[in-house]
């Protein structure tokens, strides 16, 4: 997270919000193709047309010159589908998701593809103190608050504009007291699909009262394709020498530990399944990997190179770059086969992963962690890029 002065923001905002809305045409869909026997499923725009909380939900498709596509709905600011070329040049859908907005509404897993806020990850016991005042949040993850509380941004119908075929701009005014967080938080998220097969995520926010902010995206990836089965054979490299160990409720203990000599060492490319069943208290707490990595500031794309992930069947490589200090690696340990993906497959145990660029969990209660405090007159501004190659 970068904090900048408000000077010049008006010009940026004017440019960003001057565009008019453009959405996928009625009845349009993606082309059907196959990659490694995994079908790329058609998405019908009408299945995402619905009024929720008095606002219109729609489907939005971003395209680049390589025929790659990133498909979003403004319900929860969700990434529904991401089509990129595999090793054979065929398109594969590397993001798991659903066929309709109704499926997202009734899903037992609320975070598929969603833009997360006001505070991504966990806050211990749903409480934090800011400028001498204690705030109590809704606890929706055992005794803790997760991803913004009872109605986080995954349930918001964002205002959406599509200024060009490559870009989607989302806007939401989170009012003072929203989920008991202080301050009117004006949030803008811009998703861009570049001609280099990069999905760029630009987050920006400002407040009229001191608050805490930690925005991210919760896409669930399977680089072999939606419905292709286990992710345990995906290779992962994380550019981090330390991680933040947690207690049994997945709240950081307030210290950083070396990954060397532990199952958490992904400094060299290693399959997810290689050590996930090792006897280790931290793996027991997370039921696998569900931990924040402290990025070691390896440079890449003028940011930090956070991770590289490779699909074992598709050959698709995903490189993650960010300005954030941390990366939450989640290996799909709480997937329970209760929902049906757009491919027709169930969301079975460990059939997708999340790689969330972020500030550290529970930062409002951990003074040794990088701050997530945003004050009036400052601008929260951060960028992450997910780049795909083969």
* Each residue's pLDDT tens digit, 97-127: 999 999 999 999 999 999 999 999 999 999 9
Structural domain of 102: 2-119+154-220+374-389
Both structure tokens of 354: 């999340």
Judge whether 196 is annotated as a binding position: no
The answer to whether residue 218 is catalytic is yes
Judge whether 78 is annotated as a binding position: no
18-27, 32-41, 82-91, 270-279: least confident range: 18-27
The verdict on residue 326 lying in a domain is yes
Do 205 and 263 fall into the same domain?
Answer: no
Answer positive or negative: Cα dihedral of 10, 16, 17, 18: positive
Do 310 and 215 fall into the same domain?
Answer: no
Give tens-digit pLDDT for 312-369: 999 999 999 999 999 999 999 999 999 999 999 999 999 999 999 999 999 999 999 9
The verdict on residue 229 lying in a domain is no
Q: If we measure between CA atoms, which residue out of 60, 44, 43, 52 comes closest to residue 96?
A: 43
Contacts of 252 by beta carbon, 8 Å cutoff, 6+ apart: 244, 245, 246, 292, 360, 361, 362, 366, 369
pLDDT at 224 over 60: yes
The answer to whether residue 109 is catalytic is no
- Check: pTM over 0.75? Answer yes or no: yes
Do 277 and 334 fall into the same domain?
Answer: yes
The catalytic residue among 69, 324, 356, 359 is 356
The verdict on residue 57 lying in a domain is yes
Judge whether 118 is annotated as a binding position: no
Give tens-digit pLDDT for 172-201: 999 999 999 999 999 999 999 999 999 999
The catalytic residue among 147, 171, 218, 291 is 218
The verdict on residue 105 lying in a domain is yes
Q: What is the pLDDT of residue 15?
A: 33
Are 176 and 183 spatial neighbours (Cβ–Cβ below 8 Å)?
A: yes
The verdict on residue 31 lying in a domain is yes
- Number of structural domains (the chain) is 2
The verdict on residue 135 lying in a domain is no
Do 171 and 267 fall into the same domain?
Answer: no
Do 276 and 340 fall into the same domain?
Answer: yes
Are 211 and 118 spatial neighbours (Cβ–Cβ below 8 Å)?
A: yes
């Amino acid at each position: 997270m970068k904090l900048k002065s408000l000077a010049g923001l008006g010009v940026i905002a004017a440019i960003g919000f001057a565009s008019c809305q453009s959405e996928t045409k009625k009845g349009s869909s993606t082309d059907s193709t196959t990659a490694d026997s995994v079908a790329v499923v058609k998405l019908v725009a009408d299945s995402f047309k619905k009024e929720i909380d008095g606002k219109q939900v729609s489907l939005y498709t971003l395209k680049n010159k390589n025929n790659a596509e990133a498909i979003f709905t403004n319900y929860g600011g969700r990434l529904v589908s991401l089509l990129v070329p595999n090793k054979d040049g065929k398109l594969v859908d590397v993001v798991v998701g659903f066929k309709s907005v109704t499926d997202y509404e009734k899903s037992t897993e609320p975070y598929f593809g969603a833009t997360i806020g006001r505070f991504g990850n966990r806050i211990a016991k749903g409480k934090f103190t800011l400028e001498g005042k204690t705030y109590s949040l809704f606890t929706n993850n055992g005794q803790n608050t997760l991803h913004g509380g009872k109605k986080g941004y995954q349930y918001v119908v964002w205002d959406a504009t599509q200024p060009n075929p490559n870009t989607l701009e989302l806007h939401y005014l989170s009012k003072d007291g929203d989920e008991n967080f202080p301050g009117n938080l004006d949030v803008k998220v811009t998703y861009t699909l570049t001609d280099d097969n990069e999905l760029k995520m630009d987050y920006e926010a400002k407040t009229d009262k001191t608050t805490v902010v930690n925005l991210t995206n919760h896409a669930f990836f399977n680089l072999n394709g939606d419905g292709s089965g286990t992710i345990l054979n995906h290779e992962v490299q994380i550019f981090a020498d330390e991680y933040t160990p947690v207690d049994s409720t997945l709240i950081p203990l307030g210290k950083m530990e070396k990954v060397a000599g532990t199952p958490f060492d992904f400094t060299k490319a290693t399959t997810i399944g290689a050590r996930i069943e090792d006897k280790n208290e931290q793996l027991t707490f997370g039921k696998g990997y569900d931990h924040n990595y402290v990025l070691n500031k390896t440079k890449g794309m003028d940011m930090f190179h956070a991770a590289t992930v490779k699909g074992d069947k598709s050959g698709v490589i995903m490189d993650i770059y960010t300005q954030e200090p941390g990366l939450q690696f989640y290996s799909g340990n709480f997937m329970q086969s209760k929902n049906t993906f757009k491919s027709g497959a169930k969301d079975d145990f460990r059939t997708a992963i999340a790689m969330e660029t972020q500030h550290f969990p529970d930062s409002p209660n951990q003074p040794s962690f990088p701050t997530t405090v945003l004050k009036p007159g400052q601008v929260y501004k951060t960028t992450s890029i997910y780049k795909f190659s083969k």
